[in-house]
Amino acid sequence: MVLVLALGIFATGFGPPALVESSDAADPLYAYQVPLAQRLAPPSVGARGAVVMDEATGQVLYGKDERRRLPMASTTKMMTALLALERGQLSQVVRVDVNAAEMPDSSTMGLTPGERLTLEDLLYGLLLPSGNDAAVAIARAIAGSEPAFVDLMNQRAAELGLADTHFANPHGLDAPDHYTSAADLARLARVALRNPTFAQIVATRHKAVRGRATYDLTNTNPLLGRPDVEGVKTGHTDQAGSCLVAAFRRDGHRVLTVVLNSPDYVADSLALPDYAFAAYAWPTLSLPDGPLDRDPATGSPSVTLGQQPPIVLPAWQLPLLRAELPAGAGEARFSVAGSPVATVPLAEAAPAR
């Protein structure tokens, strides 16, 4: 139904209706509308919860039960890392009192009691091999105990407006009252990726960390190595199933994807950016054609657009994007079919040379 309505709106003023009654059932769409319909078709995603979000604006471009509360597995460690970066020092030396051998059937970096590593080393052990031992060591180093650290996690979640998230531990093993939503995880990733150290670590495929032992760390993210992938974090438990938060950059724009409890988290994760980058556009706004105040000497416009806000629109709306220059307003207003989408202040144009 959404597809039919979108095609109908697009066709208004641009030719025949999008869909027609015809005896030729094999050709229900006009030729120019076929690629448009393909771009607008939502992705087929098997995950119980999924979302794709524009990183610049936070706009949700696609969602499937994106507010549904679900177990999050080791995607939890994004919050653990964010708190460590906000409250600790990378050079801080941590004396480990965690024994990975006491964590059977658990992903670890291999820590032993008495090991001394920097907080930065532990962050690599947390985010690459998804070390639950590193999560506990970080929690104790930052807050003194795991319960105290979990309190900080929930406090930070509230500050970020993650209304569908609650933490019970710093690593993500299944526990009562440990849940999130796809939309909340995308918001968390959006904040965490603004930290350059976090962004660097989650984009790293391999890292050797040296303490008393040498830890050969490999990132669990199967998408790393693709030219458009910039992280972020995997997760898997019996209750959560397979989960993946990922960041994709194409043509200078980045989208964040989340799939929770997916039967094929690679296929699901790749379908989401393919849809987003085909169905949406990031237009560069420009002044409208028509009369403008002009420099009498050069004939050039005497005003230009000031700082433009990031904007993302469904691709079919681009032909409907209009700009206006209200007299004396000192700003340009942009709308689609009469609905405002952006207001941009005007600035004096640079002198012609």
> pLDDT tens across 293-327, in order?
555 555 455 667 888 889 999 988 888 898 888 77
pLDDT at 330 (0 to 100)? 81
Which among 77, 107, 262, 269 is annotated as catalytic?
77
For 181-196, what is the mean pLDDT?
98
Residue 303's CB: how many other CB atoms inside 10 A? 17
Q: Are residues 157 and 118 in the same domain?
A: yes
By CB atoms closer than 10 A (0-12, 13-18, 19+), residue 103 is middle
Check whether residue 217 and residue 309 sit in a common domain.
Answer: no
Give the model's pLDDT for residue 78.
98
CB atoms within 10 A of CB 334: 22
Mean pLDDT confidence for 326-347: 84
CATH number of the domain bearing residue 109: 3.40.710.10
> Do residue 261 and residue 170 come from a single domain?
yes
Buried b (16+ CB within 10 A) or exposed e, 263-283: eebeebbbbbbebbbebbbeb
Residue 36: which region, alpha, beta or left (left: phi > 0; alpha: psi -120 to 50)?
alpha
Find the mean pLDDT for residues 256-268.
97
Q: What is the pLDDT of residue 171?
A: 97
Residue 345: what pLDDT?
Answer: 86
Of 34 and 83, more confident:
83
Q: How many domains does the chain have?
A: 3
User: What is residue 37's predicted lDDT score, i.e. its pLDDT?
Assistant: 55
- Check whether residue 252 and residue 329 sit in a common domain: no
Q: Are residues 120 and 245 in the same domain?
A: yes
274 shares its domain with 289: no
Residue 14 clears pLDDT 80, i.e. is over it: no
Strands laid side by side in the 331-336 sheet: 303-305, 339-348, 331-336, 321-324
Q: How confident is the model at residue 328 (pLDDT cuts 50, 70, 90)?
A: low
Going by pLDDT thresholds of 50, 70 and 90, the confidence category of residue 104 is: confident
pLDDT band at 17, cuts 50/70/90? very low
Range of weakest confidence among 41-45, 208-212, 290-294, 315-319: 290-294
Higher pLDDT among residues 50 and 329, named by residue: 50
Both 234 and 329 in one domain: the answer is: no
Do 270 and 330 reside in the same domain of the chain? no
Give yes or no: 74 in active site: yes
Q: What is the pLDDT of residue 10?
A: 43
Q: Are residues 97 and 23 in the same domain?
A: no
Mean pLDDT of the chain: 86
Tens of pLDDT, residue by residue over 270-297, are: 999 999 999 999 998 887 665 555 555 5
Containing domain of residue 28, as a range? Answer: 2-40
pLDDT tens digits, 108-167? 999 999 999 999 999 999 999 999 999 999 999 999 999 999 999 999 999 999 999 999
**pLDDT tier, 23 (very low <50, low <70, confident <90, very high otherwise):** very low
List the Cα angle 250/254/260 in 5-degree steps. Answer: 115
Tell whether 36 and 58 lie within a shared domain.
Answer: no
List the structure tokens of 89.
Answer: 């020092």
| Known active-site residue 130 | yes
Of the residues 64, 107, 130, 233, which is catalytic?
A: 130
Looking at the fold, whether 22 and 142 belong to one and the same domain comes out as no
Write down the catalytic residue from 64, 74, 181, 233.
Answer: 74
Residues 69 and 207 in one domain: yes
The pLDDT of residue 323 is 86
